[in-house]
Structure 1
Amino acid sequence: MTNKTKMLYRLPLRFYLNQLIALFLLALVFTWLARDEGLDHLLTGYWFDAATQSFPWQQDPLLDLLNHRLLKQLIIAAGAFCLLYGLIRRQPRLILVAALFGLGALSVGILKTASHHSCPWDLLEYGGKAISYPLFGAVPDGSGSGHCFPGGHASSGFGVMALFFLFYRERPRLAWSCCALGVALGLAMGYGQVMRGAHFFSHNLWAGWWVWLTQVVVYGMVSTWLVKEPKV
């Protein structure tokens, strides 16, 4: 007999409506925070040395090892393990959750390729040559190489939110705890990049927004398509 914890399940329409409302409200808040880039420049300026026109933590080996490489590699390895284990044990729920780890980061990566926003360390005010501009503002001449919005590195941490769908049916409190863990990891990994001058804080907030939107939409579509049981 198939263990129910291995099976996909459908969530009620109310869940998706609540998530979309929350995402809409968060989008309004994030847009308001980025209206004049004040918060971004406040947080980034703390880690910028005006005397040397550089970010002292940009090449810090410990920060690079722990935050930029090790944490990301551990999360990727965890996602790969879940996918492999799910395939071997024939657990469709675990397979989909493992896929959500990567799909959230993929959506952010696609957005980055179309972005004209340059990273802080490339901007004029931080010793670079590129011109900054507010989110949704007109792209100025000299905006630089771009490809720095949303925050790609933070998206790996936010990907852990996918564990929510693994546990929600049987253990909802654990599911929400996993979601909170993903948010914490994404913010921590993203702030490490703020310290290095690689991203503004708002880049990371929007990364988390896109990751969760992707995970909710993909899980809803796949579970609706594959699962014939009544919604729970």
Structure 2
Amino acid sequence: MTQIPAASDSSRLPSIQVKTLYPLPTRFYGYQLFILVALALLFSWLSRDETLDRIITGYWYDAATQRFPLQHNALLDLLNHRLAKYITIALAVMTLLCGLVRRQPRLVTGALLMALGALVVGVLKSISHHSCPWDLVEYGGHAVGYPLFSAAPAQSGPGRCFPGGHASSGFMVMGLFFAFWRDRPRLAWSFVALGVVLGLAMGYGQVMRGAHFFSHNLWAGWWVWFSQVVAYGLISAWLAKE
């Protein structure tokens, strides 16, 4: 008579390791709420009259020719505006494919959170009345600029320049934090640091071209991280109940 192996005999069963999504500790969300509120207050203060933005942007504007000398710089456009963005997008796609092949929900979620961060900024940018510096009257354009919380003037121009869409392509790397936080916390926080550095660097490249004010990039990072934290909290809490 053939003996059927017991269900508890794991040595005879195929092993499939699937890293599920675990909710982050409650204190993590408490810290993030405090940090996000503090940063929102700081960024609001910096954006109140655009003084800092105009100081930084003025450094890259040539008043004599009434243009931004680096606006059409081929090297800056290639390395910062195109190549850097393509690399971060490729990283998100590779993470998604790796997560699907290896059946690791954390990697899939990390990739989707990267896309979500960029998507949120893209939607906000598409409905914004704030125009880019190179469109404003003081920088040789025809649009009228205005502080962040002021009413949009009738001559606000083409708009669609706030928050910084290109910077979000760098900041979205922070979403990989949620793929590694449980097993490799140092690596997870390294992705947060990398995302901040990439977002600020890529965003500043746009400042040099006259495409964005510096505060546009700060708010892009804020919205990316806010959306990622909220989305992961909701998803992990729902899966924990299931």
CA distance in 1, matches of 2:40, 2:87: 29
Residues 13-40 of structure 1 show CA distances to partners (whole Å, capped at 9, x for unaligned) of: 2111210111011000000011110110
Deviation at residue 84 of structure 1 after TM alignment: 1.3
* Equivalenced residues, count: 228
The CA RMSD measured in Å over matched residues stands at: 1.2
Aligned to 2:9: none
Aligned to 2:158: 145
CA distance in 2, matches of 1:89, 1:169: 17
Deviation at residue 114 of structure 1 after TM alignment: 1.4
CA distance in 2, matches of 1:103, 1:159: 8
Is 1:192 aligned with 2:205?
Answer: yes
155, 160, 166: which one aligns with 2:168? 155
Structure with greater contact order relative to length (CA < 8 Å, sep ≥ 6):
1
Residues 1-232 of structure 1 correspond to what in structure 2 (within 5 A)? Answer: 1-3=15-17, 6-228=19-241
CA distance in 2, matches of 1:72, 1:171: 26
Deviation at residue 2 of structure 1 after TM alignment: 4.4
Matched residue type, 2:107: L
Deviation larger for 13-22 or 102-111: 13-22
Residues 185-213 of structure 1 show CA distances to partners (whole Å, capped at 9, x for unaligned) of: 00000000000000000000000000000
Deviation at residue 227 of structure 1 after TM alignment: 2.9
Residues 17-71 of structure 1 show CA distances to partners (whole Å, capped at 9, x for unaligned) of: 2101110110000000111101100000000011110001010000000000001
CA distance in 1, matches of 2:108, 2:183: 17
Q: Judge conservation of contact 2:106–2:180 (CA < 8 Å) in 1.
A: no
4+ residue runs over 6 A deviation = none
Percent identity (aligned): 68
SS in 1 for 2:177: helix
CA distance in 2, matches of 1:146, 1:17: 35
CA distance in 2, matches of 1:202, 1:217: 23
CA distance in 1, matches of 2:16, 2:148: 49
CA distance in 1, matches of 2:25, 2:94: 29
TM-score w.r.t. the length of structure 1 is 0.95
CA distance in 2, matches of 1:123, 1:187: 23
Deviation at residue 3 of structure 1 after TM alignment: 3.5
Runs of 5+ consecutive residues of structure 1 not aligned to the other structure: none
